[in-house]
Amino acid sequence: MTGKVLHGPRDLDPFAGDLPRLDDALSRRIGADPENVQRGLAQLVLTIVELLRQLMERQALRRIDGDTLSEEQVERLGQTFMELDKRMAELREEFGLDEEDLNLNLGPLGNLL
Amino acid sequence: MIELYAITDNPGPPLPDLAPLGALSVDGLAAVYGPASSGEVTPEALWRHEEVVEALMEDRDLLPVRYGTCLEDEATAVRAVAERRADLAVALDQVRGAIELAVRVLLADERPAAAGPELSGAQYLCAKARSASERESAIRTLHEPLSILARASRQASPRAPSEPLRAAYLVDRPAVPAFTALVSRLQDANPRLRLLCTGPWPPYSFTES
């Protein structure tokens, strides 16, 4: 594998963080039993929720940049998004999905998120 | 059952002998195949597949076939390729003479993920804004110059706030040294970041159609 590194820092450990994912991915991707079909539906729904969450978060960041919000409003927004983020993580966990699973490949347009 | 490895030009150079391989000729294209590996999908099986595709890649242009594409027999494979022949020929033209390089970027001063619970709402948004601006700046200072040396590029969504850029580049074979030299110059110019460039890979990110 190191033969494939054309340029990199001496210490590759920080990049290896997601290597164990391969095994996980393999054990999850196989078989189309009813449970998997249900998971597929959850995946699609959560992808759309995640898209909306990210759009709203970006909108909030823009408004903060524009200085149109009071400190209290910023704090409340932040709390709300943090809470949403946590709920999404819980739902992902429940359906055995990764952050990366919540994305759609739109072909030539690239990825949705 | 047979397993497809890649679509290449036909005729091509002799097939490497690290696996029992055959080539099916379909009107100017060849589908390289081997006996389907039976049993479970394991990381080892994936690497074996990758090894074959990379050996093929050394002396020919190819479209890597998604791992696990198994077909009944040779005749079925020929029919399947013939049906998509026009698309495949165009896709093969698009990667002709090029290979894929992957670049990943991490923030060097990676702080342990800010302790979740005690984060205030404002701090949370502030961290979000910071990682968004890290991303924008990585695109400007790294992705854009690298894209100029590449025939095409694809950005993947970064997996963590500490990873501002993850991208694949389709690079002409002769331009690979210039590309890696640029990566190394960009590393020197950006000590706050850690750059990792790997390859050459089969053009996995550039064969979707």
pLDDT tens string for chain B (209 positions)? 899 999 999 988 999 888 899 999 999 999 999 998 776 778 888 888 899 999 999 999 999 998 888 899 999 999 999 999 999 999 999 999 999 999 999 988 766 555 555 788 899 888 888 888 998 999 999 999 999 999 999 988 777 788 899 999 999 999 999 999 999 999 999 999 999 999 899 999 998 75
Please give the Cα distance from A8 to A11 (Å, whole number).
8
Please give the Cα distance from B125 to B128 (Å, whole number).
5
End-to-end CA distance of chain A: 29
From B121's Cα to the closest Cα of chain A, the distance in A is 4
Two tokens at B107?
């923030």
Closest-CA residue of chain A to B104: A15
Please, how many CA atoms are within 13 Å of residue A29, restricted to the half-sphere of its CB? 14
From B177's Cα to the closest Cα of chain A, the distance in A is 9
Residue-level pLDDT at B144: 96
- ipTM > 0.85, yes or no: no
Residue A87's H or E segment, with its range, is helix A71-95
For residue A100, the chain B residues in CB contact (below 8 A) are 157, 159
Residue-level pLDDT at B204: 92
Closest CB from A4, A8, A30 relative to B41: A30
Contact between chains at B46 and A26 (C-beta distance less than 8 A)? yes
Contact between chains at A7 and B195 (C-beta distance less than 8 A)? yes
- The helix/strand/coil state of B7 is strand
Between CA B92 and CA B100, with CA B95 as vertex, the angle to 5 degrees is 135
Q: Which residues pair with B106 in a beta bridge?
A: B194
Residue-level pLDDT at B24: 94
Query: B73 Cβ partners below 8 Å, 6+ apart?
Result: B1, B2
Q: Is some CB atom of chain B closer than 8 A to the CB atom of A23?
A: yes
* Spans of all domains in chain A: 43-102
* Spans of all domains in chain B: 2-95, 98-206
Which residues in chain A come in under a pLDDT of 70? 1-2, 18-35, 105-111
Residue-level pLDDT at B29: 95
Contact between chains at B156 and A111 (C-beta distance less than 8 A)? yes
Closest CB from A6, A78, A86 relative to B121: A78
Closest CB from A14, A65, A74 relative to B121: A74
- CATH 3.30.70 matches B98-206: yes
Q: Is some CB atom of chain B closer than 8 A to the CB atom of A89?
A: no
Residue-level pLDDT at B18: 82
Residues of B in CB contact (< 8 Å) with A are: 41-43, 46, 101, 104, 106, 110, 116, 119-125, 128-129, 132, 154-157, 159-160, 176, 180, 183-184, 187, 194-199, 201, 208-209
pTM: 0.83
Residue-level pLDDT at B177: 97
DSSP annotation of B99? E
Residue-level pLDDT at A43: 87
Backbone angles phi, psi at B103, to 5 degrees: -125, 130
Please give the Cα distance from A46 to A39 (Å, whole number).
10
Give the E-state strand segments of chain B in sequence order.
2-9, 22-26, 29-35, 62-64, 70-71, 98-107, 152-155, 165-172, 193-201
